[in-house]
Structure 1
Amino acid sequence: MFNRKAARFVYVAIFFVAIYFLAVGPWRETANSLRLSYSLGNKEQVVENPTSDGGNVITDHNIPAEQALTENPPTDKDSEHLAAERLAADKLAAEKLAAESTTKSAAKQVQTAVSGSGSDSANNNVASSPLTSTEDDKARYEHIHSLLPIFEKYRPKMEPLHKYKDDKEAPKKAFTDTIPVFTKEELADYLQVSKEDKDILTKSHRDTVEHLPSNYPKGLFKGQGVVFTSGGKYLPIMVTTLRMLRRVSPVIPVEVFLADKEEYEPEICEKLMPMLGARCVVLEDVYGKEFFKSFDIHSYQLKALSIWASSFEDVIFIDSDNVPIRNVEASLQQEPYLSTGYIVWPDYWFRTTSTHYYDIADIVLGERVRGDLSVTDPKLIPQADLKNALPDKSSESGQLMISKSKHYKSLLLTVYYNLNGFTAYYKLFTQGSGGEGDKETFLAAALALGEPVYQILTDTRPTGRFDPEGFEGAGMLQIDPYEDYKKHVLKTSPKDVHGRILFVHFNMFKLNIRLLFSDKEKEKFSSDDKRVRYCGKPSDNTEWFDYQDIEFYMWREVLWTACEMPKLGINFKDWKDVDMTEMCNKTTAHFKWLEKTHNS
């Protein structure tokens, strides 16, 4: 009897060790038998050690993205196959890692983290993953400050671009529309850029690229971690997202960046964040008040600055309202991240980059390398299909993954684009079309420097619900990168199966209950007969959400922040003037209704 119990204990300990090393271990999985690298717009690709079955050597990243709403949903058989495939792979990896290390310290850390992950609550006692020391921070910030004069010296000194021909911005065309032909000629004609301004921007871009370093001092950035940018009314939303993250990635370190000291909340940063293995960082303290004031840093500009200032070498950036529904750091140990060190996801919109940008960045557009190559009339060829052009779709930066060691210079160029975003680059990249902001700056910087990057080809899908007035969107479903890689590179997964979701970006539905209970949505929380599920019925989303009732789980975390967190003497500034008893009661009522409709 004793031997059987001992064996069971050893097996459980080995399992926890394996999970730990999968999540945060210091090792890095090799690229198995396939190593693929490519650059956007570059027809010549390289594949080393192709698969034994003669895997295709890709000569062009020329695979049309599916139309999201017209794809056939996966059958139960398809879903079972995908789940079985991943389960087998996870088991194999766990066995391999367990054999490599059974250290007591690792087992103890994982058991500590897992013990706080009870089925009825998020990880209230999750182990605080080690973050960098004060000395590490000091060295990193000194390095950052040594580079800030480059951005100051070579900034474009000009008035912001704002004029459009006939006051017409580029039209918004999404995946539900007929594929538009945004030609090179057409996209040169919306945003008006004078010769003087173009010369200023071109010189500024060249000088900046020339002086930015390609590498950083050894050891300056370390390990893997998640980065959030938040503050104010978005902080309650971020905490819900962070608690959801801890359901699937319990120990990966997290850094939350706040713009300035006004957004720093001691109760949240000093009491709650350590409970969740996270810490707060004030961006203004990193870059200095004068630098913030000089560039009037706000809004979209904060994201790139947060990624740069973070202590991590491998960064997973997640928006405050973007919920991960499976382990996120696993993607850092798989293709396509292993080959490229950079992953970006698509937006709904087709690309409307100004042709002037390519001139400014010294990028020469070539012949058509994407789409229907039989069409050669320039009036029928989208600019995005040309060699060296940013390809369709446009980017959605609610999530991205980047290796600083592989892409340090392009990250710095991204910072440059954002510092001068409101002056020029936000309009140059989007021309007033859908989602104008920082979202194109990441991919564009990598393209400008010829750095490898993986652009997800599977279209994002909307999640939401149907009511008598039509479809009401709540968020965007973004695929697991390895699922996309299997479909479009390995070609081992059917294209008519969307693949497993990694992120649900709630870009329309903002889960701050103070706002939900007081604005136009409040009627939906007044009684059970008026309540709605913003993501629709759970039965309609089983494949996309891995058979998880995501909305139910999100509100479970909100229930904790509304009812339990105040008992710890912790509350958000955004909720300070709210009757927390009433807020708790309303949240409880909605959560119980979600529980009753769990199997709908």
Structure 2
Amino acid sequence: MFGRPHRILSIILSAFGLFVTVTFLRRLHDGSIRHAIFTVSPSEANPPTPQILAFWESWAKVIDAARPKIPAIELKEVAQPAGKEPDNERERKPFNLSIGIPKNDIELLRQSHDKLVGHANFSKVDEQAARLFSGIGIVTVAGGSYFAPAILSIRMLRKTKSTLPVQVFLRNKAEYEKKICQEVLPALNAECFVIQDHLRKDNPVKVEHYQLKVLAILFSSYESVLYLDSDCIALLDPKELFDSEPFLSTGLVSWPDYWIATEDPVFYKIAGVPSFPKGLPARSSESGQLLISKQTHLSTLLLAAYYNIYGPSIYYPILSQGAAGEGDKETFLAAAVVLENPNYRVRHRLGALGFHEDRKFIGTAMVQYHPGDDYAPRDPTSLKQDRPLFLHANSPKMNIAHLLAADRVFYKGTEDRLRLWGPKESTTKMIGYDIEEAVWIEIVEMACQLDETLRDFHGAWRMCERAQRHYRETFQPEATALPT
């Protein structure tokens, strides 16, 4: 009794299904439902472009084939550069400590290194950049406990009136937080990508921590990238960096660290450099910020990726010998030097912020200066000072949930509230305004707005109230109103 109506209903449903399918395919073709496609990617993050995926897959195979054929390097002695703070304009000299790599291992490392830089297509790789990448923007690595500093950094960027887009890279899809990536960050003109989505499932190399930075830069769709660590805060709109010297003529700008460089001179023999290079800055690099053009330095990034992928066991100890901050920090400049690619290192000495405890200075943040000011010819009669450009709040990270868990961060001796970056007078003299108060206004808003949203904030006891109290008692003890 149900046969004929049932057949009619089936025909109607089939026709409707065909209509929906055709409509879907049309909209897929014209891109109008691209966002829906994004949300069903492996991590729900924005997917990598097919061109960048294909590019990396081909070079990942070359890098894998060029794997070092020696055991992991074990340091017998650690370089001790602390306290040696030469003028940054001095020329680098070979460090007087050597790992003592056996001659046979040096030759094996040289042969492996040459498999990459001597590859038939390596010298032409920069020519591919214009096809693969476009535009300018900021790249950072976040996720987990680094999400809060990254959001703070982007919020402070917007306070400079900068409209530069931001691409936020996460290590894997476990770090993807839907509300942060689909609501909080897009409202700040930022978007999420997952590094794991760019790697083959059978990828033989485990990448994490310091190794993530160079891959984030490589996988970004931007041709020109300002990389900022998640805890690095822009003090001025950095857009002008892309349109001026020294970036225009070199395509790579890096900044100094506190200490002298401590690479084992054997590195240059491994890399095929005939002698210790002349003209290198005496100080090591601080890679909390890096400015790079892929049209000039895609080869530099590939070689830096090689140094980082095989970094923990081989190239980190060779390039730093266990000195403070060992990691990716030396790999970018080293790659540019080996390939004889142009670069500029800021000469202005790194500034330090912090507080005194028991007559000892406790450094909590680093200040880096504007490369354009640094590059300009010096007028000895001018009183104009180089402008502070970045504040790298490296210790402690400005994650309110973690700061609240560390009571000593908030109190100095008794019940006095602690200013992490020093007295108002000294920070204002260096930066031009009270940067710590400006940052805490944003921290308070984040503590109160994201306490139920950001995964790392979950379980932090009365976070909004405690953040408000710290702000009020530290920066406005006489005021009754909270910041808005």
Same fold (TM over 0.5): yes
Equivalent positions of 1:390-539 (< 5 A) are: 390-486=280-376, 490-492=377-379, 499-521=386-408, 524=411, 529-539=415-425
1:151 equivalenced with 2:63 (yes/no): yes
The answer to whether the 8 Å contact 2:91/2:280 transfers is no
* Equivalent residue, structure 2, for 1:575: 457
Q: Please give the per-residue CA displacement for 1:329-381, whole angstroms capped at 9, x wherever unaligned.
A: 1111111111111100000010111011010011122xxxxxxxxxxxxxxxx
Q: Which runs of 5+ in 2 are unaligned?
A: 1-44, 480-484
Q: Which runs of 5+ in 1 are unaligned?
A: 1-132, 366-385
Paired residues in the alignment total: 430
The one-letter code sitting in structure 1 at the alignment partner of 2:469 is A
Rounded to whole Å, the distance in 2 between the matches of 1:422 and 1:495 is 46
What secondary structure sits across from 1:476 in the alignment? strand
Deviation at 1:215, TM superposition (A): 2.5
Matching residue within 158, 180, 201 for 1:246:
158
Q: Please give the per-residue CA displacement for 1:221-244, whole angstroms capped at 9, x wherever unaligned.
A: 111100001111111111111111
Taking structure 1 as reference, are residues 205 and 305 closer, same or farther at Cα in structure 2, changes over 3 Å only? same
The one-letter code sitting in structure 1 at the alignment partner of 2:102 is S
What secondary structure sits across from 1:535 in the alignment? coil
Taking structure 1 as reference, are residues 257 and 282 closer, same or farther at Cα in structure 2, changes over 3 Å only? same
What secondary structure sits across from 1:295 in the alignment? coil
* Equivalent residue, structure 2, for 1:298: 208
- C-alpha root-mean-square deviation of aligned residues, in Å? 2.6
* Equivalent residue, structure 2, for 1:170: 79
Equivalent positions of 1:219-234 (< 5 A) are: 219-234=131-146
Rounded to whole Å, the distance in 2 between the matches of 1:431 and 1:288 is 32
Equivalent positions of 1:185-264 (< 5 A) are: 186-187=96-97, 190-211=98-119, 212=122, 213-216=125-128, 218-264=130-176
Rounded to whole Å, the distance in 1 between the matches of 2:92 and 2:253 is 25
What secondary structure sits across from 2:340 in the alignment? coil
Taking structure 1 as reference, are residues 298 and 355 closer, same or farther at Cα in structure 2, changes over 3 Å only? same
The answer to whether the 8 Å contact 1:353/1:428 transfers is yes
Matching residue within 197, 201, 204 for 1:285:
197
The answer to whether the 8 Å contact 1:479/1:499 transfers is yes
The one-letter code sitting in structure 1 at the alignment partner of 2:247 is Y
What secondary structure sits across from 2:274 in the alignment? coil
Matching residue within 542, 554, 576 for 2:428:
542
**Structure number, greater radius of gyration:** 2
Deviation at 1:432, TM superposition (A): 1.2
Deviation at 1:525, TM superposition (A): 9.1
The one-letter code sitting in structure 2 at the alignment partner of 1:591 is Y
Rounded to whole Å, the distance in 2 between the matches of 1:281 and 1:135 is 7
The one-letter code sitting in structure 2 at the alignment partner of 1:170 is A
Equivalent positions of 1:49-128 (< 5 A) are: none
Rounded to whole Å, the distance in 1 between the matches of 2:252 and 2:183 is 34
Matching residue within 314, 317, 325 for 2:235:
325
Rounded to whole Å, the distance in 2 between the matches of 1:232 and 1:195 is 43
Rounded to whole Å, the distance in 2 between the matches of 1:598 and 1:414 is 52
Deviation at 1:144, TM superposition (A): 1.7
What secondary structure sits across from 1:335 in the alignment? coil
Rounded to whole Å, the distance in 1 between the matches of 2:313 and 2:337 is 21
The one-letter code sitting in structure 2 at the alignment partner of 1:358 is Y
Taking structure 1 as reference, are residues 230 and 525 closer, same or farther at Cα in structure 2, changes over 3 Å only? farther
Q: Which range moves more in the overlay, 467-476 or 252-261?
A: 467-476
What secondary structure sits across from 1:542 in the alignment? helix
Q: Which range moves more in the overlay, 353-362 or 492-501?
A: 492-501
What secondary structure sits across from 1:478 in the alignment? strand
Taking structure 1 as reference, are residues 143 and 598 closer, same or farther at Cα in structure 2, changes over 3 Å only? farther
Deviation at 1:494, TM superposition (A): 6.5
Taking structure 1 as reference, are residues 169 and 242 closer, same or farther at Cα in structure 2, changes over 3 Å only? same
* Equivalent residue, structure 1, for 2:36: none
The one-letter code sitting in structure 2 at the alignment partner of 1:571 is T
The answer to whether the 8 Å contact 1:249/1:327 transfers is yes
Taking structure 1 as reference, are residues 491 and 149 closer, same or farther at Cα in structure 2, changes over 3 Å only? same
Rounded to whole Å, the distance in 2 between the matches of 1:257 and 1:494 is 45
What secondary structure sits across from 1:401 in the alignment? strand
* Equivalent residue, structure 2, for 1:591: 471
Rounded to whole Å, the distance in 2 between the matches of 1:262 and 1:494 is 56
Taking structure 1 as reference, are residues 496 and 534 closer, same or farther at Cα in structure 2, changes over 3 Å only? farther
Taking structure 1 as reference, are residues 497 and 393 closer, same or farther at Cα in structure 2, changes over 3 Å only? farther
The answer to whether the 8 Å contact 1:341/1:406 transfers is yes
* Equivalent residue, structure 1, for 2:443: 558
